[in-house]
Amino acid sequence: MSEVELEVIDLKEVVLSNNSFGPSDVGSIRTAVSENYGHFGELRDAVNEMEADDLLSPAGKTKMGVCQFLLGKFSDALTTLQSADGSAMALFYQARCMFELGSYNDTVAVYEKAQTSGYNEDQCKIGVAEAYRYAGRIEEALAILDNIFGPAEQTADYMYQRAATVAAVGGRMDEALALYQRAVQTDENHAGALFGLALENDRMGNDEESLSLYERAAKAFPTGIGVLINLGLIYEDNNQFDKAQMCYKRILDCYPDHPQTLLYMKDAAATGSMLYDEEAQRRNDRLAQTLNMPVTNFELSVRSRNCLQKMGIETIGDLTRTSEAELLSSKNFGETSLFEIREMLTSKGLSLGQFAHEKKSNEPPIDTSHMSPDEQALLDRPISDLNLSVRARKCMARLQLNTIGELIRKTGDDMLECKNFGVTSLNEVREKLTDLGLKMRGD
Q: What are the phi and psi torsion angles at 382 (to 5°)? A: -65, 150
Residue 269's Cα: distance from chain center in Å? 21
Residues in the chain: 443
Which residue, 151, 210, 207, 149, is CA-closest to 177? 210
Average pLDDT over residues 196-205: 85
Which residue, 378, 421, 375, 433, is CA-closest to 396? 421
- Taking each helix axis from N to C terminus, what angle separates 58-70 and 39-51, rounded to the nearest 10 degrees? 140
DSSP notation for 140-170? HHHHHHHT--GGGGGSHHHHHHHHHHHHHHS
pLDDT of residue 8: 44
Check whether 283 has a pLDDT greater than 90: no
Check whether 438 has a pLDDT greater than 80: yes
Check whether 360 has a pLDDT greater than 70: no
DSSP notation for 365-402? PP--TTS-HHHHHHTTSBGGGG---HHHHHHHHHTT--
Which residue, 206, 261, 264, 268, is CA-closest to 240? 268
Average pLDDT over residues 398-416: 81
pLDDT of residue 440: 86
- For residue 62, list its beta bridge partners: none
Which residue, 156, 196, 163, 239, is CA-closest to 351? 196
DSSP notation for 189-208? T-HHHHHHHHHHHHHTT-HH
Could you count the other beta carbons within 10 Å of the beta carbon of residue 147?
9
Query: Residue 412 half-sphere exposure, CB side, CA atoms within 13 Å?
Result: 14
DSSP state of 172: -
Across 240-249, 381-390, 395-404, least confident range: 395-404
Under DSSP, is residue 313 helix (H, G, I), strand (E, B) or coil? coil
pTM: 0.60
Per-residue CA distances from 238 to 86, 272, 318 (Å): 49, 11, 27
Domains of the chain: 295-358 (1.10.150.20), 373-435 (1.10.150.20)
pLDDT for 137-169, tens place per residue?
Answer: 999 999 999 999 999 999 999 999 999 999 888
Average pLDDT over residues 93-109: 94
DSSP notation for 34-76? HH-TTHHHHHHHHHHHHHT-TT--HHHHHHHHHHHHHTT-HHH
Check whether 252 has a pLDDT greater than 80: yes
What average pLDDT does the chain have?
84
Which residue, 300, 431, 409, is CA-closest to 364? 409
Cβ atoms of 26 and 92 closer than 8 Å:
no
pLDDT of residue 364: 56
Instruction: Quote the CA–CA distance of 367 and 180 in Å, as a whole number.
Output: 53
Instruction: Quote the CA–CA distance of 15 and 46 in Å, as a whole number.
Output: 7
pLDDT band at 7 (very low <50, low <70, confident <90, very high): very low
